[in-house]
Amino acid sequence: MSMANRDSLAAQPFGLPISPADHRSPGWWAMVFVIVTESAFFAYFIFSYFYLASMAQGAWPPEGAPSLRLALPNTIILLASSAALKWGEAGIRHGSQRRLRAGLLLTFLLGVAFLVIQSIEYSHQHFTPATDAYGSLFFTITGFHGAHVAVGLLMNLVVQLRAWLGHFSAERHLAVTNAAMYWHFVDAVWIVVFISLYLSPRFG
């Protein structure tokens, strides 16, 4: 073992990573486990949706496939937010504070726009969570996802504040990486939700 490796292990008792810049840090692993756990929740909801769809005696959804008039542009907005965050994260990896701040701000604005449009879509629906099983699942799945978007926006605000305070650099930006992992996960889940709830009924 080289002297450098011995010094590295000596600085990390029991071989545990203690540097907040280390991608193997407890914070990074915690985010991985959060994503795995939340993935299981969404998988359960999607399974329930398709199970009830297979058991339905009449049409599913009862009132036809939900409109794409707002959902489709909202999907594009959310995907654009992921692209903006990826752009900002790539910036700080190269030491660009300005690019990180711009990417975080644009991501936040697009995320807020997504929630606003989703609330407008809710107000235009002809069913409620209490109407039937489909209505309950539709609002539960999309609402649960919307709650995750809100959590992602809170993370964004915290990271954005730290970015404006100059806490990140090309070598130290683990908080940005963790927040980005969560946001990309939320966006990926929406693709599954969009395909399942909005597109699959049109192919049935």
Instruction: Name the band, by pLDDT with cuts 50, 70 and 90, for residue 26.
Output: confident
Query: pLDDT digit string (tens) for 28-49?
Result: 899 999 999 999 999 999 999 9
H/E element, 155: helix 133-164
Query: pLDDT at position 204, please?
Result: 67
Domain range list for the chain: 3-203
Q: How far apart are CA 82 and CA 142, in angstroms?
A: 18
Quote the DSSP letter at residue 201. G
As a whole-number percent, the residues of the chain with pLDDT over 90 amount to: 79
> HSE-up of 91 (CA within 13 Å, CB side)?
18
- 10 Å CB burial of residue 11 (0-12, 13-18, 19+) is exposed
Q: Which residue has the tokens 């000596």?
A: 10
Determine whether 24 is exposed, middle or buried from the number of CB atoms within 10 Å of its CB (0-12, 13-18, 19+): exposed
Q: What is the DSSP string of 72-122?
A: HHHHHHHHHHHHHHHHHHHHHHTT-HHHHHHHHHHHHHHHHHHHHHHHHHH
Q: Are 73 and 147 in contact (CB under 8 A)?
A: no
Write down the pLDDT at residue 21. Answer: 52
Question: Do 192 and 42 touch, CB atoms closer than 8 A?
Answer: yes
**Distance of alpha carbon 84 from alpha carbon 180, whole angstroms:** 10
Task: Work out the pLDDT band at 14, boundaries 50, 70, 90.
Answer: very low
* Residues 39, 54: Cα–Cα separation, whole Å: 22
- At residue 23 the predicted structure's pLDDT band, cuts being 50, 70 and 90, is low
Question: Mean pLDDT lowest for which of 18-27, 44-53, 143-152?
Answer: 18-27
What is the three-class DSSP state of 132?
A: coil
CATH number for region 3-203? 1.20.120.80
Sign of CA dihedral 115, 129, 132, 188: positive
Token digits for 19? 């540097």
pTM, 2 dp: 0.87
